[in-house]
Copies of this chain bind each other. A is one copy, B any other.
Amino acid sequence: MARLKTIEWIHDTIRIIDQTKLPARLVYSDIDTIEQMYHAIKKLQVRGAPAIGVAAAFGLYIGVRDFSDAGSITGFISHVKKQAAYLAGARPTAVNLFWALNRMSNTVSGCTQRFSILECKEILLKEAKLIFEEDIAAGKAIGKNGFELLKNVTTILTHCNAGGLATAEYGTALAPIYVGKEQGKIFHVYADETRPLLQGSRLTAFELQQAGIPVTIICDNMAASVMAKGKIEAVIVGADRIAANGDTANKIGTYSVALAAKAHKIPFFVAAPLSTFDLTIRSGKQIPIEERDANEVIFGFGTQTGPEGVDVYNPAFDVTPGRLITAIITERGVLYPPFGKSIKAMTS
Instruction: Identify the A interface with B (CB < 8 A).
Output: 22-24, 190, 192-196, 198, 201-202, 205-206, 209, 214-226, 228, 252-253, 255-256, 259-260, 262-263, 297-298, 300-315, 318-319
Complex contact B311–A193 (CB within 8 A) = no
Closest to A257 in B: B221
Complex contact B196–A305 (CB within 8 A) = no
Known: A195-B219, A311-B216. A24 touches B224 (CB 8 A): no
Assembly stoichiometry (copies) = 2
Chain B residues contacting A300 (CB-CB under 8 Å) are 301
Closest to A310 in B: B205
Complex contact A311–B215 (CB within 8 A) = yes
Complex contact B222–A315 (CB within 8 A) = yes
Complex contact A222–B260 (CB within 8 A) = no
Complex contact B310–A209 (CB within 8 A) = yes
A201-B306, A218-B312, A301-B305 known; 4 new pairs, CB 8 Å cut-off, are A220-B220, A225-B255, A226-B313, A259-B263
Chain B residues contacting A260 (CB-CB under 8 Å) are 256, 259
Q: Report 19 cross-chain contacts, Cβ distance below 8 Å, ordered by A residue.
A: A23-B305, A23-B306, A193-B305, A194-B221, A195-B195, A195-B219, A198-B305, A201-B298, A201-B306, A216-B311, A217-B297, A219-B220, A221-B221, A222-B252, A224-B256, A224-B318, A225-B318, A262-B263, A300-B301
- Provide the main secondary structure of the chain A interface: mixed
Chain B residues contacting A193 (CB-CB under 8 Å) are 195, 297, 305-306
Closest to A306 in B: B201
Cβ-closest 7 pairs across A and B: A221-B253, A301-B303, A220-B221, A225-B318, A23-B307, A224-B256, A195-B219
Complex contact B305–A302 (CB within 8 A) = no
A347 to B209, CA, bound (A): 51
A221 is contacted by which of B24, B192, B301 (Cβ under 8 Å)? B192
Chain B residues contacting A263 (CB-CB under 8 Å) are 259, 262-263
A259 to B313, CA, bound (A): 21
Complex contact B219–A297 (CB within 8 A) = yes
Complex contact B307–A206 (CB within 8 A) = yes
Known: A217-B313, A301-B301, A313-B217. A307 touches B226 (CB 8 A): no
Complex contact A228–B255 (CB within 8 A) = yes
Complex contact A217–B312 (CB within 8 A) = yes
Question: How far is the CB of A132 from the nearest CB of chain B, in Å?
Answer: 26
Chain B residues contacting A228 (CB-CB under 8 Å) are 255, 318-319
Complex contact A221–B252 (CB within 8 A) = yes
A311 is contacted by which of B214, B309, B310, B311 (Cβ under 8 Å)? B214
Question: How far is the CB of A200 from the nearest CB of chain B, in Å?
Answer: 9
